[in-house]
Amino acid sequence: MRIRLYCISILFTFAALVAADLHAQEKVLRIDAPQTDPAIESVEGPQLALYNPQVASNHRLFLFFVGTNDKPERSLNLDSAFGDWGYHAIALDYENHVVTVVCAHSADSACFDHYREANMTGAPVSDKIAVSQDNSILNRLNKLLAYLVVHDPDGGWGEFFADGQPVWSRIVVAGHSQGAGHAAYLGKMFPVDEVLMFSGPQDYFDDLDMPAPWLARPSATPQSRYFAFLNVADPYNVHHQIANCSVLMGVAHPATPLIQPGDVIKGDAQIFLNDADPQHAHGTTLFPEFSNVREYFARMGAEDTSLKPALSPEPQPPIQPGHPQ
């Protein structure tokens, strides 16, 4: 028995060393938002951009939004996991000091919509949050991608940025809490590869007892490409979160399997639940122990193998005098 336990211990140690070595190969860039454009303000610290040059690229970008008052740096573990599965990854700094549920008791049915639109585009449409166009999420993302293309020329960032715009079909948008709603809002606006929502969205009118109407708007991203991971004891009310996700996914009574760390995930469910650590329920969806859920999401994002690198045309030999073009 002691020999068996010793062998198991050796195996776990070896696996940990292999994982540590894999992470050590990652290239991690920390970029303050004003570096990409002096008109952009820093909110919670440097933005993250990373990829693992030792892993074959799947030609997709994992774009992550942290929650209220959180720092991009705190998503490093999640970003690195996707990096190890062939993704490039970005954690964006953005104006996240106004909590989403500021609209929960509003009588204005457009409150959540305007809150999201103001942060996303900088449009002056919300009385809950004011964000300039320079500091909007879309401008921050555009400027960061443009910066990476120039300052990390060997990084392959040009696959995700063309003609001054993100290449949305190659981007998986994801977020935690407030960030979950921003990811969903982007999925409505643009045909992204996948939308991943961790502990959110919270866009539910408590007094009206209904999801925010924007959740039901036509989506540029197929409804089957929205996925969520929630905790049954979430203080923001898991039933409201499920209702919001149901509208986004166009499924009246979605399956919501309960997942434990290490479970093999099969089937085609879009909403997954956990019951870990009720004292910290809202944060459990980002726990590294749920690598099975992360890998399921990553695999779903990589299932379309038609995406190829955006290569420049092959150089042509110079035309010789007297030869027809």
171-227: pLDDT as tens digits: 999 999 999 999 999 999 999 999 999 999 999 999 999 999 999 999 999 999 999
Share of the chain above pLDDT 90, in %: 83
Return the number of other C-beta atoms located less than 10 Å from residue 11's C-beta.
10
83-111: pLDDT as tens digits: 999 999 999 999 999 999 999 999 999 99
What is d(CA 316, CA 139) in angstroms, rounded to the nearest whole number? 36
Whole-angstrom CA distances from 134 to 45, 81, 190, 308 are 17, 31, 20, 32
Provide the terminal-to-terminal Cα distance of the chain, rounded to the nearest Å. Answer: 79
Neighbouring-strand partners of residue 90:
49, 63
What is d(CA 54, CA 51) in angstroms, rounded to the nearest whole number? 9
Q: Computed from CA positions of residues 129, 130, 135, 138, in that sequence, does the dihedral angle turn out positive or negative?
A: positive
277-311: pLDDT as tens digits: 999 999 999 999 999 999 999 998 766 544 544 43
What is d(CA 317, CA 39) in angstroms, rounded to the nearest whole number? 44
Mean pLDDT of 130-141: 98
165-166 and 161-162 as β-strands: parallel, antiparallel, unpaired? antiparallel
Mean pLDDT of 228-239: 98
Query: What length does the chain have?
Result: 325
Whether 153 and 175 have beta carbons less than 8 Å apart is answered as no
Give the residue with greater pLDDT, 46 vs 309: 46
Q: Is the pLDDT of residue 58 over 60?
A: yes
Split at pLDDT 50, 70, 90, the class of 44 is very high
Q: Assign domain 24-301 to its CATH superfamily.
A: Alpha/Beta hydrolase fold, catalytic domain (3.40.50.1820)
Split at pLDDT 50, 70, 90, the class of 24 is low
Element housing 91 (H / E) = strand 88-92
Q: Is the pLDDT of residue 18 over 60?
A: no
- Say whether pTM exceeds 0.85: yes
Mean pLDDT of 134-149: 98
Q: What is the pLDDT of residue 304?
A: 54
161-162 and 88-92 as β-strands: parallel, antiparallel, unpaired? unpaired
Whether 48 and 30 have beta carbons less than 8 Å apart is answered as yes
